[in-house]
Structure 1
Amino acid sequence: MGAFVAEVALRWSDMDAFGHVNHARTITLLEEARAELLFTEAERRGLLGMAEGMVVARVVIDYHSPLVYRSKSLRVKMSVRDLKAASFVIDYTAYAQEAVATAETLMVPYDLRAGRPRRLTAEEREFLSAWQADTVQPELDRA
C-alpha cells in the first residue's frame, strides 16, 4: 500500500522565539500524524485495540530545514518497518513546502491494565504490514 499521509495543522503557539517550530512541538506534530495512522485509520478499518495501548520506546529526528508557521500545515508521510512480534518502527518524512525533517519512532504495544509490554495481535500485524515500504526516503524536494 505504501506510505500513509497525514496533514497536521501548525499552530501559532508551535513557534519559539527564533520564529520556527521548536523540537518539542515537532515531536507533538509527529505524534498527531502517528495518531491518524494508528488510531483513526486503524479504527476506520475496524481495529480498535491499538488505541488501548501503544508507547514510543525511542524517537530520532533529523532536521533538514527550519519549519516555520507560515507553512500552515505539515504533510507527514509514514511507513512501517522492522515489524516484529512486540515492536515496530514508523519512518516519517515531514514536509512544509519541502522536506523539513525525517524521523523514526520505535513503537511497542502496551497492556495498560497489566502495566507491561504485549505482543501485537494478528490483526494489528496485518494492519501494520499494509503500510510497510522499503523506507520513507527523505525526499529533499517538494512532496
Structure 2
Amino acid sequence: MSSLDFTIALRWSDQDANGHLNHARIVTLMEEARVRWTRSVGGFSTRVSGVVVASLKVDYLAQAEYVPEMTLRLGVERIGTKSFTLRHTGTQGDTTVFVGSTVIVPLDAERTGSRALNDGERRALEANLLD
C-alpha cells in the first residue's frame, strides 16, 4: 500500500454551531489534500491541461472535532483508461472520521473533453496504488 499523508490546519470557519467540523467543509479539506497530492506526485502532468472531478463520495464515520489540524491520507484506489480514483482517509488522533473517494478525469488540451492517461501519469499513479 502506498499513500501520502497531509496535515491540514483547520480554520475557524470550518466549525459548525456545535464546535464540530461542518460536514461540507470535509469536501473542501479533501480538495486541498488532493491538490497537494497532485503536486507532490512526480510524473503527473494533468496540471498542464487540467482535471475535473467526475464523482465524489464521503462516508462520515465519527464526529470531526474543531481542533488545530486534521491528517488526510491519499492513495490511488483505481486506475482506468481516462480516469483514476483517489481514496481519502481523514483522521484526528487515532480516530478515522471519514473515508472518501474522488474520481478524477484529465482534460484534453482544448479542455473540452477527457483524454487517456499518458504513460508517465500511469507510472506515477501505479507507484501510489493502494493494496
TM-score by length of 1: 0.83
CA distance in 1 between partners of 2:109 and 2:33 (Å): 22
Letter in 2 for 1:22: N
Letter in 1 for 2:40: E
Deviations 1:31-59 (A, max 9, x none): 11111111x203xx3x3622231111111
CA distance in 2 between partners of 1:49 and 1:80 (Å): 16
Deviations 1:93-121 (A, max 9, x none): 11012111011111111136241111111
CA distance in 2 between partners of 1:2 and 1:128 (Å): 10
Deviations 1:115-137 (A, max 9, x none): 11111111111111111012xxx
Q: Tell me if the contact between 2:14 and 2:66 (Cα under 8 Å) persists in the aligned partners.
A: yes
Q: Which residue in the other structure is 1:54 paired with?
A: 51
Q: Does 1:37 align with 2:37?
A: yes
CA distance in 2 between partners of 1:112 and 1:11 (Å): 35
Q: Can you give the 5+ residue segments of structure 1 that lack an aligned partner in the other structure?
A: 135-143
Among all aligned residue pairs of Structure 1 and Structure 2, give the percentage whose two residues are the same amino acid.
34
Letter in 2 for 1:35: V
Letter in 2 for 1:31: E
For residue 82 of structure 1, give the secondary structure of its aligned residue in structure 2. Answer: strand
CA distance in 2 between partners of 1:63 and 1:49 (Å): 31
TM-score by length of 2: 0.90
Q: Tell me if the contact between 2:83 and 2:105 (Cα under 8 Å) persists in the aligned partners.
A: yes
Q: 1:117 aligns with which of 94, 114, 124?
A: 114
Count of equivalent residues:
129
How big is the shift at 1:92?
A: 1.4
CA distance in 2 between partners of 1:121 and 1:26 (Å): 31
Q: Which residue in the other structure is 2:89 paired with?
A: 93
5 Å-filtered alignment, 1:77-92, equals: 77-92=73-88
CA distance in 1 between partners of 2:44 and 2:62 (Å): 36
Q: Which residue in the other structure is 1:11 paired with?
A: 11
Q: Does 1:126 align with 2:123?
A: yes
CA distance 1:34–1:114, shift in 2 (3 Å) = closer
